[in-house]
Structure 1
């Protein structure tokens, strides 16, 4: 899949952005997928696979058999199960996509792992680091592939960012800024306001800027936060400062109370990168010099179906016999969960049953 690069200046005049190396999702080996919890994100995921890849969704599982059948009929999926156990035991399923609320990630991913299935589990990986550690240990013991569905990591513009960082194009990085805020109407029945479903801004929205900072800065050495709770007691807003061993800072924000720019930037001694909204989706990237002059831009040729890239990465890894992805390593998913735990500790947010 060709990505467009448009330079705003003669490439001989100064630094330019690298071209993405991201393989076409359609070229990834085809696997048979089972989907747990046929909600909204499961629908987007299935649609992206069917439209942009050779992956096959062959089964769907729900606690509600009618809901499973309706989802199967909508997408032409052969098998529908009225239980998650039925889905993970289906011998036709190579890999299970866990799309349940955060409160169910651990239980449902563990079911799939114990059944010997590979697993792609929605972000945030689990409710907390303890659950993440147990999942990772179980997957390694069972010898199955496991990955967090942090879809941003696999998009072409993020490969541009990775290469720019690796090449030293920005110089020494000092500051990362990122935000993700959406205006959500207060509704005690909505999963994002429900403590029992591990609701709140942080695990659903805030995980994006935190994971982005982790990718750019490397291991985080400190995490501090201030925030505001919702009327149900989950986190409604958090402002977070993280630091890395290099001394670089990440300034991050997430909220359920307002629609924020959802942009990101990485500032170094030589130049900075500005990532358009939404930075976590298929976004444009600008390279800005120290004199604030625009040096180059990257514009993705495709802005839809971004969820297909993570599925393609999982398929490539599994077909190659790898049990995790180098682009979203399990150790980093665990480290991000530790950072999110630190934020919730500062905000005094605890989920039922933790």
Structure 2
């Protein structure tokens, strides 16, 4: 088991820190490294979060990355990182198709994992990853940052507070023109808009009006347009809940969008700016006039909340984070499997 598992009070009292390592050295790994450096300089996190190591398939690339962010260690293989007993938490920052394999390798070596979204390529892999976490006693949690951010509670309080009346419909969109990247277009990398950006739209709906509020999906309809490679370039999914509430999730990798999350009620509606990282919430009345604006708390990068939650969980000896428990991860993975099934989209490794 990891160094710090199960003895949080003792570890913190002794001034021990959670050593965080990054597996992968791509764009999102740089964002995490920047986050960890900022956490190490912030009084809220500095005493217990430590940016420790990075691993890449190329040793020189790993050394350059480590030097850029002042990390203690750089490894030219993922296996070497997993074998470092000083690593407490590994952030998995590789393409979707590799998440399960690499997370399982880390956990079997005694490392806790914070796995970038989408958690895995499909629900079968997610179950295998979670089963390994349970067998090894390691923490495994999905790094979908919006689940951990303060904006989640703010939106839930708005919906539950009754200001919008009875919520009847929701729409959520996240689209970027990023189709030139292999991780988006290559079926072997579990490419497509759904797992890359569509997962945020589905999670927004799940938090804003779905499972966070006790609703279960009764039926769904979905469609997509493909890249030449066969994976989805753009998609739209309509979810109908048992009480008749209708939610629409759209995403695209070939066009930019407003990135809005809109919650419509009988007494007004709310517009969340940027469901990928909420920046603010505008509440409107039935006259379509702005009733009030809700600010979202300032943050380092937004990634700090998932890191802190994972570190707290492993210090407490827990195998999952309450912000994104395994049941929630599996539900979203199963939903995306069903959506892809309706499209007839299978990845080559499935």
Please provide the CA RMSD for this pair. Answer: 1.8
**Is structure 2 residue 63 aligned with structure 1 residue 66?**
no
Is the contact made by 1:174 and 1:269 (CA closer than 8 Å) also made in structure 2? yes
**Is structure 2 residue 139 aligned with structure 1 residue 148?**
no
Q: How far 1:67 sits from its partner (Å)? A: 1.7
**Is structure 2 residue 33 aligned with structure 1 residue 46?**
yes
**Is structure 2 residue 280 aligned with structure 1 residue 284?**
yes
Matched with 2:268 is: 271
- Residue 283 of structure 2 aligns to a residue whose secondary structure is strand
Matched with 2:318 is: 322
Output the CA distance in 2 between the equivalents of 1:89 and 1:72: 18
**TM-score when normalising by structure 1:** 0.86
Task: Output one character per residue of 1:29-52: Cα deviation in whole Å (capped at 9) or x when no partner.
Answer: 941111111111010011012113
Q: How far 1:313 sits from its partner (Å)? A: 1.4
User: Within 5 A, what are the aligned runs for 1:255-270?
Assistant: 255-270=252-267
Output the CA distance in 2 between the equivalents of 1:49 and 1:266: 33
User: Within 5 A, what are the aligned runs for 1:1-354?
Assistant: 30-52=17-39, 53-54=45-46, 55-186=49-180, 190-216=182-208, 217-218=210-211, 219-276=216-273, 278-302=274-298, 305-354=301-350
Output the CA distance in 1 between the equivalents of 2:271 and 2:163: 13
Task: Output one character per residue of 1:248-269: Cα deviation in whole Å (capped at 9) or x when no partner.
Answer: 1111111111101111011223
Is the contact made by 1:36 and 1:97 (CA closer than 8 Å) also made in structure 2? yes
Output the CA distance in 1 between the equivalents of 2:54 and 2:180: 31
Deviates more, 1:202-211 or 1:168-177: 168-177
Question: Which protein, 1 or 2, shows the higher relative CO under an 8 Å CA cutoff with sep ≥ 6?
Answer: 1
Task: Output one character per residue of 1:268-301: Cα deviation in whole Å (capped at 9) or x when no partner.
Answer: 233322101x222141012223343422211235
Output the CA distance in 1 between the equivalents of 2:180 and 2:34: 29
Unaligned runs of 5+ in 1: 1-28
- Residue 124 of structure 1 aligns to a residue whose secondary structure is coil
Q: Go from structure 1 to structure 2 and tell me whether the alpha carbon gap of 1:258 and 1:272 turns closer, same or farther (over 3 Å shift).
A: same
**TM-score when normalising by structure 2:** 0.87
